[in-house]
Every structure is written in C-alpha cells, then in structure tokens.
Chain A
Amino acid sequence: DVKVTQSSRYLVKRTGEKVFLECVQDMDHENMFWYRQDPGLGLRLIYFSYDVKMKEKGDIPEGYSVSREKKERFSLILESASTNQTSMYLCASSLFRGTGREQFFGPGTRLTVL
C-alpha cells in the first residue's frame, strides 16, 4: 500500500514565524501536491511537483514556497506565517504524469497561526 506521511498532525505557530511542513511518500511516485482545505471551499492546490527540483504553482501559491530535493520528499514552506494561513494542509502523490491517476493523500496537518 502507498503510504504518504506528513511531519505533524497539529501545529501551532505565531505570526511571522517560518513554518516547514514535510511530506514523504514511499512508492516512488513522480507527482506530489500540496493543498489547503478550508470549510466550504474544497481543496485548493498550492503547488505541485512532477519531478525532483521541479515545481509549478497551483491556484493559491502566494505566501508559500516548496522544495523537492529528493523524489520521495516534498516540503511546503510558509516564509512568514499569517493568521489567514490557518488551515488544514494536505499532501498527495500520484504515480504518473497526467491526471488519469488517483492521488494518495497523507493524513493532513492542521496548522493554527496565532
């Protein structure tokens, strides 16, 4: 079974802090994704990566950056956390390029910025 793990289930940070969210998948997937999920808004894509060191902006990249130095690991960075970044963050991976493949999700990180 594919396993996607996220570094924290719950995280509380202060405004202005730099925040790192890490995601690791163990099935050699090429594609990895970072979403945020807010009530009533569904999942919104922040960034995705289809290969090591490759990244592409999603719908809401402002205030975020990402890093993919190894195939199995995809990090989301909040350079200077703000209260409007309080949200559930979900990481996902999928096997091949293209959208015809299912995405496998981690358990999520609920981030609160005070």
Chain B
Amino acid sequence: SQQGEEDPQALSIQEGENATMNCSYKTSINNLQWYRQNSGRGLVHLILIRSNEREKHSGRLRVTLDTSKKSSSLLITASRAADTASYFCATDAGNSNYQLIWGAGTKLIIKP
C-alpha cells in the first residue's frame, strides 16, 4: 500500500535555484523520512522528522511537517548538479509495525 505521495513527479531547475518537493500521506504517523536515490543506485537517508516536530534542518536541506494537513516538504537551497537524483518520502504507519511506506518519488534535475 502506498501512503506517501510526492509532488511534483518531476522537477527541473537551474543550478543555484531552490528546489521544493512535497509529500502527502493518509494516516497518522510517528515520523517521516526523506531519502535520495542517485540514478540506478540504492537510497541514502537524508533526514527524519518526528510527528511532534514542525521543521528540521540539515545543511542545505530544510524539511517541514504539517500533521494537520498530513503533508511534508523538502527544500534544497542553492541547488548543485550533484543534487540531481530522485527523492522519496517514507512514513511509518503510526503503529509498531516495522514497515515504512514509500511514495513514488520526485525526480529532480539540476541544469548547469
């Protein structure tokens, strides 16, 4: 079952611009995670935000969480060519199950 849904499906911006990706989910959660996947590779964890947090920063990444709207956004500031990748959000199901539920991802292309 798919809980997270990323928006947009694809995003193309110029190097140096900011990139914003959104994730919506359906049920209550304990936390939400963002991952990056470079072409044809495994996923790399970027950031985890808990349900009682509203905003979190890590370097050029800023994640917000709005539990009332069941949505999260990932902002990448001052984008670089190396940020070209697919970005996925993953949520737990709000229970003790080990499973993460994944969205289909946003494909981000940074044009030089």
Contact = CB atoms under 8 A, between A and B. Distances in A.
B103 to A, nearest CB: 5
B95 to A, nearest CB: 9
Main secondary structure of the interface of B (DSSP, over half): loop
Contact of B102 (A43, A88, A102, A107): A43
A92 to B, nearest CB: 8
A56 B40 CA distance: 27
Interface stretch (A61-69, A71-79, A93-101): A93-101
B41 A107 contact: yes
| Chain A contact patch, size range | 20 to 34
A103 B43 CA distance: 9
A42 B43 contact: no
B52 to A, nearest CB: 12
Interface of B: 1-2, 4, 30-31, 33, 40-45, 48, 50, 88, 90, 92-93, 96-100, 102-105
